[in-house]
A = this chain, B = another copy of it.
Amino acid sequence: MKNCEQHISPQVVKRLPRYYRYLEDMLEAGLVRTSSKELSAKSGLTASQIRQDLNCFGGFGQQGYGYNVEQLYNEIGRILALDNKNKTILIGAGNLGRAVALHMDFDRKGFKLIGIFDKNEAVSGQLVGHIPIRHISGLDDFCLENKPTIAVLCVPKDNAKELSANLYNLGVKGFWNFTHYDIANKYSDIAVENVHLSDSLMTLCYKINRLDEVET
C-alpha cells in the first residue's frame, strides 16, 4: 500500500466500484489474469487512466504480467471497505423505499439494514424482506438504543430537511439520499451520496434532444 492513499480524488473513487464490477465478472468467468489494456476495452476508459487510478493505492500489478484478477478484486473491496457492517436504517417505505430495501444487497456492500420506518400507521408491522416496518414515532428511541450510523432517505422532499437534521443529531454520519433535497452542504462532518433519479432522467432528456440535433 502506498502513502498516497491519503487523499484520493473523488473522480477516482467513483470509478472504483466500476472496476470492482468488471473484476467480479472476470472472477465469475474464471479469468486469472488481466491488464489495464483489457480493462480499458471493457470499460471504455483509457489504459493509462486505469493504471493511474489503481496506482493511487499501491502497486497491485506486475510489469510484463498485468494484474491478478482475484487479488485486485480483493484489494478494491478492501479499499472500499465492503466488509464493514455499518448499521443502517431506511426511512420511507413507499414503492421506492421497499424496492431499495429488497433490491440492494446491503450486506455485501458494507452495510447492515437494521430498521425500516414509515409515517403511515397502516403499514406498521408489515414485513419488507425480513424486516418489519416501524412507525416513524419510534425513530428516536430506536436510534438511541441501536445507534445506526447510516440512513437511507426515501421520503418526499418536504420531510427531508427536518428529518435529516434530526438524524444528524441522533448520530447518523452517512446518508444515502433519494430525496430531491440536498443534504451535503449543510454539515461538513458527514458523508452523503445523492441519488437524484429525476435529475438523471432530465439529463437523459437533454442528451436525446441533442442527439436528434446532431443528426439533422
Contact = CB atoms under 8 A, between A and B. Distances in A.
A29 interface: no
Contacts of A96: 99, 103
Contact of A109 (B79, B110, B198): B198
Interface in A72-124: 79-82, 84, 86, 94-96, 98-100, 102-106, 109-111
Interface residues of A, number: 61
A193 B204 CA distance: 6
A86 B205 contact: yes
A195 B197 contact: yes
Contacts of A189: 211, 215
B204 A150 contact: yes
A9 interface: no
Given A43-B182, A99-B95, A206 B16 contact: yes
Interface of A: 13-14, 16-18, 20-21, 43-44, 79-82, 84, 86, 94-96, 98-100, 102-106, 109-111, 149-150, 173-174, 176, 180, 182, 184-185, 189-193, 195-211, 215
